[in-house]
Amino acid sequence: MNGNGEEQTSFEIGIVVPKRAVKEGDEDSDCVEVLVDEFKKAGLIVERVLGISDEFIKLAAPLETLGRATAELQIKKPTHIGMDLPFVWDEIEAFVKQPDGSLFSWCERYQCYNHLLYGIVNRSKLVVTLKYDGRDIHWGLGESLLRRMESEGIVKQVFPLHDEIKRKQLLRSWALNWWDFTRQPIDDIYLYFGTKIAIYFAFLGMYTRWMLFPAAFVITLQLVDFRQSQLLTLPVFFIILISWAVLFFQFWKRKNAALLTRWQINYPVGLDLRYKLLDMEKFSLQSPLDLIKKLGTDKTQEKEAYQRYEWLGRLMRFRNDAIIILSIICLQLPFELAYAHLYEVIGSDLMKFGLTAVYLFAIQYFTKFGGRISAKFIMYENNENREYRADSLVYKVFGLYFMQSCIGVFYHALLHRNFKTLRQVLIRRLMVSQILENLLENSLPYPKNKDCESGSSTEKIQFTSRVEKEYLKPTYSAIVGEELEDGLFDDFLELALQFGMIMMFACAFPLAFAFSALNNLTEIRPDALKLLTMFKRPVPRAAATIGAWLNIFQFLMVMSICSDCVLLVCLYDQEGKWKLEPGLGAILVIEHILLLIKFGFSRIVPEEPAWVRANRMKNARQAQDVCSKQLLRSISGEKKMVDELKKDD
């Protein structure tokens, strides 16, 4: 990462085609050969590698090719005055460079590759007939060759390649850096993986660092043996905890804003990225616009069309949400309760074990099925872009998992009102999740990876097998809806469920904080290693915040206020009298105070640091100073022309 990252162009995209023998005369019309020729014509650097069972086409793009594609796509890039402007090759000096000195971010490069690869269309006036293994393939007019070959099954996969040099650098400075787990080279992660993954790791790091405070607190409490004064310390602990959580999320928002400013990513006020993302992908709200063109230019009709479209979309989404919520309550809830009840009723340990196995088996299918249905539903919503759709899915699937992981514990907490068994259940749950997780993550074959690295740049054959090895690695994708979400979904889900579990039952089992702090500390590096060695390089995503997950964490915070109050009531009301004595009244008061803290505190800490704001203000002013004269002239010129035309009519 030394100043001129763009000059040694590395291969970043791999295409997989089956190995086959090409007949002598067919070379001109063999579709793979044509594809490679077209790639070369498009200005890409091509390297072909023969693997054991497949052939790999590795692609790299020189700066010029990327620049041309960016200009064609009219991608907006931040300039030195802080405004995002469409890229123009001639004015390259005006655009801000990435932290490592390269001009384009990984996300932009990926967009360009996509444009270049799928932009190879038949520009001649005839249908071109190509050969493949004796078969004839008709390349229609204006049809994308790559897409055609994908649908014919000739191109097995197009996937982003790891950059060996940078990957090894990251391995050393990040995944295999066994010192201060919460410190991470976020900038390098951003450069290599894009915003979304970098933001996830920044969040994970900060969350873990903040988690150490309550963990230390509960350990101290445990050492002092607070059992004697439990009735007093628990509410105090509870209030401190909620304040801690509220402050954490406010400071996270600030950190997010600061990170984006450091990476020169412009974002709108309040981190509301809807307006930002609309620029990136196609604005699908144009559908009513098309309608409007038919209707003519009547202003009120335009307004009505928009309103109809807007409310229809809302209704659609509301319906979907209602269906999901109802099916969770009507189908999942009885199932979970039945399991929890049976588990309590059954005496023998063996039976219990069997029941749990059946349950785990059933629930796995259940959640997968639910996730698929949610993904289907989302297709019918008019969400305006990919990140929006993803958020909608996140909410729905989180609902499923949340219900699954918490309802049993709730059952224990409320029906038995026995803190001891509740604690046991919690420990079991946390332990099980930790063990399962560690099993998964320790199945990473550390030494095997070491092998693969050591021989990374020696001989050709080793090199060949590396591409193939990468191809054989799994894609970084979520359990549900591969096509919609990447693996971050699982990691966030895990974090959110953990957060929910420890916060909601904080009063029953404060030590959970220590457990989960330890868990998170030991999770950062394996997560990093997983990304760098286990999977294909993930497709970069444009999202610049943690999106829907922030709302989910906030929701969990409110839930935990309520549920912890219920637990406190149980604690004070051991005899089950349910009498609203001063103690219980005090708990109600505490609940309301905490809700106030939740919704009031967030106003005390502003979401955006003052320097970020000042920076943005300066930028906005500069931009307007530069262009206002020019703009005004062109506007008034246009206005005059229009007026004159009107006079002529």
Q: 303: which residues sit within 8 A by CB, 6+ positions away?
A: none
DSSP label at residue 135? E
Give, in order, the Cα–Cα distances in Å from 201 to each of 102, 208, 615.
Answer: 22, 10, 25
Give the number of other Cβ atoms within 10 Å of residue 464's Cβ: 15
Among 227, 294, 460, 579, binds a copy of itself (CB under 8 A): 579
Q: Which value, to the nearest 10 degrees, does the dihedral of the CA atoms of residues 464, 466, 468, 471 take?
A: -150
Point out which span in 184-192, 430-438, 518-526, 628-636 binds a copy of itself (CB under 8 A): 628-636
Q: If we measure between CA atoms, which residue out of 623, 607, 546, 602 comes closest to residue 258? A: 607
3-state secondary structure of 455: coil
Q: Compute the distance between CA of residue 562 and CA of residue 560 in angstroms, rounded to an integer.
A: 5
Among 141, 358, 580, 586, binds a copy of itself (CB under 8 A): 580
Among 562, 574, 586, 644, binds a copy of itself (CB under 8 A): 562
Nearer to a copy of itself, 40 or 80 (CB): 80
**For strand 13-18 and strand 128-132, is the pairing parallel, antiparallel, or unpaired?**
unpaired
Q: Are 178 and 528 spatial neighbours (Cβ–Cβ below 8 Å)? A: no
Nearer to a copy of itself, 127 or 269 (CB): 269
Interaction between residue 247 and a copy of itself (CB under 8 A) = no
Interaction between residue 584 and a copy of itself (CB under 8 A) = yes
Nearer to a copy of itself, 220 or 615 (CB): 615
Nearer to a copy of itself, 417 or 613 (CB): 613
Q: 498: which residues sit within 8 A by CB, 6+ positions away?
A: 430, 433, 516, 519, 520
Interaction between residue 633 and a copy of itself (CB under 8 A) = yes
Point out which span in 10-18, 103-111, 459-467, 602-610 binds a copy of itself (CB under 8 A): 602-610
Q: 284: which residues sit within 8 A by CB, 6+ positions away?
A: 382, 384, 385
CB of 292 to a copy of itself, least distance (A): 10
Q: Are 351 and 508 spatial neighbours (Cβ–Cβ below 8 Å)? A: no
Nearer to a copy of itself, 380 or 599 (CB): 599
Strands lying side by side in the sheet with 13-18? 45-50, 54-60, 13-18, 157-160
Tokens of 409: 């514990």
Interaction between residue 71 and a copy of itself (CB under 8 A) = no
Interaction between residue 644 and a copy of itself (CB under 8 A) = no
> Half-sphere exposure of 256 toward its Cβ, with a 13 Å CA cutoff?
29
Interaction between residue 445 and a copy of itself (CB under 8 A) = no
Point out which span in 45-53, 82-90, 161-169, 372-380 binds a copy of itself (CB under 8 A): 82-90
Nearer to a copy of itself, 129 or 634 (CB): 634
3-state secondary structure of 126: coil
CB of 308 to a copy of itself, least distance (A): 10
Write the binding mask 254 to 293 for a copy of itself: x where contact by CB under 8 A, - elsewhere: --------------xxx-x--x--x----x-x--xx----
Among 70, 79, 533, 560, binds a copy of itself (CB under 8 A): 79
Dump the DSSP string for 492-528. HHHHHHHHHHHHHTTTT-TTHHHHHHHHHHHHHHHHH
CB of 448 to a copy of itself, least distance (A): 43
CB of 414 to a copy of itself, least distance (A): 12
Residue with tokens 């294909």: 536
Among 88, 219, 323, 452, binds a copy of itself (CB under 8 A): 88
Interaction between residue 85 and a copy of itself (CB under 8 A) = yes
Interaction between residue 92 and a copy of itself (CB under 8 A) = yes
Q: Compute the distance between CA of residue 556 and CA of residue 565 in angstroms, rounded to an integer.
A: 14
Nearer to a copy of itself, 128 or 569 (CB): 569
Tokens of 378: 């989302």
Write the binding mask 297 to 336 for a copy of itself: x where contact by CB under 8 A, - elsewhere: -----xx--xx-xx---x---x------------------
DSSP label at residue 476? -
Residue with tokens 């307007």: 624
Tokens of 270: 């309040």
Contact set with a copy of itself (CB under 8 A)? 76, 79-81, 83-86, 88, 91-94, 268-270, 272, 275, 278, 283, 285, 288-289, 302-303, 306-307, 309-310, 314, 318, 558, 562, 578-581, 584, 592, 595, 599, 604-606, 609-611, 613-614, 617, 623-624, 626-636, 638-640
